[in-house]
Amino acid sequence: MSARERTLQQRDPLAALVGRPISYFAGFGLPVYALLNTWSNRGSIMHPALAAVAVLLVVFASVLLVWLSSPLRAPFTSRSLVALVVVALIAFMVSSISMGESDAAIRDDWGGPVVGLLILALAPYRPAKELAVAGGLGAVLVGVVALVQAENFVAPYPPIMFVVIATTPVLALSFAAASFAHVLVRGLDRWNARARLAVIELADERGRFIARSVQQDSVTILNQQVVPFLSELRDRDEVTEETRTRARGIADAVRASMVADVDRSWLDDLLVDAAGAAGGGPRSAARVSLSDPAGLAQKMTTDERTALRALIVAVHGHPLFDAESSTIAIVRQAGRCDVVVRAALPGGDHAELSRLAPFLAVARVVFADLHVEHDSSALTLRFSYEQR
């Protein structure tokens, strides 16, 4: 996976998800705005068919915006930005051509504001520089069209004034989007820097806590198995073959338990804890089967662990989840670690699975190659990460 871009969606996917209603509002508002302006200027339209095509292009751009900005298709790419802006600019040009020489007032043209509003709606999804560049290039095209049509306008102003009037909405809205994206991402970077410092400061304390926890686990094992055996041996004051066999069995069990604790990864602990939270006890509840013979889970970054951890906990909380029939497999493949997560959710429909959308949005940003499959029996996720 490549380094994450300076976008709100990739730095804080949940924040971008919270702001998704903006995409719906733009997807509905832009066609309505274009249609109302076209209707109010119907007397200036020389080619009604082209005017209709222009409105349909705005509708297409709006549908494309809502579809491409879906959290299930994250991250929103620069290619998507280019596609949307190009469609909006084509709609602007077709609208201008539909009025031809009868376009008497540039203030009635809706093409420039639509381009600017569309770029503004993309603020959570793309970096500030791309938004500013898209707005600048769009303004150039809008300005050229205004300059060509300047002789048709009835207002007695020099052509440069029409260029300024036409390009102002595009530049103002796109630079506002760029400023918004820049400020948000900069704030997130500062917060992350402070959080990393706090983690470093707590590293020693966490290490001491882990050491105490391991020591307590070892003492518990000794108290439960070794101490009773030694006490019994002392009381009997006799060593038999049966005693030796029992001693070897206890020793093997203690050794196996300690080796298992050493080899156990954070993912093992997570699955045990999640099963306990769902079933009333970490040892008695059913847990997801994990296949990770090479211990590749340990090679995940903090962000990758956090995304997978949140998704696993969310799946365990789903009312239809069946842990006994669910699996996680991690294998090494061509320098990367391939992961297949199969969560048994029998009978789950799209509405029931929608509650997992925020967690899938985060996972799709962290794991760029995430592939989601869902049928009547299970939700299957396939993704990979680098070996580090």
pLDDT tens figures, 321-334: 888 889 999 999 88
Which are the contacts of 139, defined by CB distance < 8 A and separation ≥ 6?
A: 167, 170, 171, 174
Taking all residues of the chain, what is their mean pLDDT, rounded to a whole number?
Answer: 80
Does 2 reside within a domain? no
Highest mean pLDDT of the ranges 103-107, 117-121, 281-285, 290-294? 117-121
The dihedral region occupied by 7, where left means phi > 0, alpha psi between -120 and 50, and beta the remainder, is beta
Does 208 reside within a domain? no
Stronger pLDDT, 111 or 155, i.e. the higher one: 111
Place 133 in a pLDDT band, splitting at 50, 70 and 90: very high
> How far apart, in Å, are the Cα atoms of 181 and each of 25, 56, 99, 127?
18, 29, 36, 7
280 shares a domain with 250: no
Q: How far is CA 167 from the centre of its chain?
A: 34
Q: H-type helices in 240-372, by residue range?
A: 241-263, 266-279, 302-316, 350-353, 357-366
> Whole-angstrom Cα distance, residue 143 to residue 96?
12
Does 340 reside within a domain? yes
Highest mean pLDDT of the ranges 45-54, 64-73, 197-206? 45-54
319 shares a domain with 245: no
Which pLDDT score is estimated for 209? 55
Which pLDDT score is estimated for 200? 63
344 shares a domain with 221: no
383 shares a domain with 275: yes
Give yes or no for a contact between 39 and 80, defined as CB atoms under 8 angstroms apart. Answer: no
pLDDT tens for 139-160 read: 999 999 888 887 776 667 788 8
Q: How many CA atoms lie within 13 A of 350 on its CB side?
A: 1
Q: How many residues does the chain have?
A: 388
CATH number at residue 293: 3.30.565.10
Does 229 reside within a domain? yes
Tell me whether residue 374 is exposed, middle or buried, using C-beta atoms within 10 angstroms of its C-beta: 0 to 12, 13 to 18, 19 or more: middle
Highest mean pLDDT of the ranges 4-8, 24-28, 95-99, 265-269? 24-28
Structurally, the chain folds into a number of domains equal to 3
Lowest mean pLDDT among 19-28, 197-206, 229-238, 337-346: 197-206
Compute the average pLDDT of residues 222-229.
Answer: 70
Place 2 in a pLDDT band, splitting at 50, 70 and 90: very low
95 shares a domain with 44: yes
> Whole-angstrom Cα distance, residue 50 to residue 78?
29
257 shares a domain with 118: no
123 shares a domain with 234: no
The residue out of 198, 223, 244 marking a domain boundary is 198
Does 49 reside within a domain? yes
Does 204 reside within a domain? no
153 shares a domain with 39: yes
DSSP string, 210-226: HHHHHHHHHHHHIIIII
| pLDDT at residue 250 tops 80 | no
30 shares a domain with 146: yes
Place 247 in a pLDDT band, splitting at 50, 70 and 90: confident
| pLDDT at residue 1 tops 50 | no
Which pLDDT score is estimated for 173? 95
Give me the domain span that covers residue 251.
Answer: 214-263
177 shares a domain with 39: yes
306 shares a domain with 243: no
Share of the chain above pLDDT 90, in %: 27
The residue out of 248, 263, 278 marking a domain boundary is 263
160 shares a domain with 100: yes
The residue out of 206, 240, 263 marking a domain boundary is 263
| pLDDT at residue 387 tops 90 | no
> Whole-angstrom Cα distance, residue 256 to residue 264?
12
Does 82 reside within a domain? yes
Does 192 reside within a domain? yes
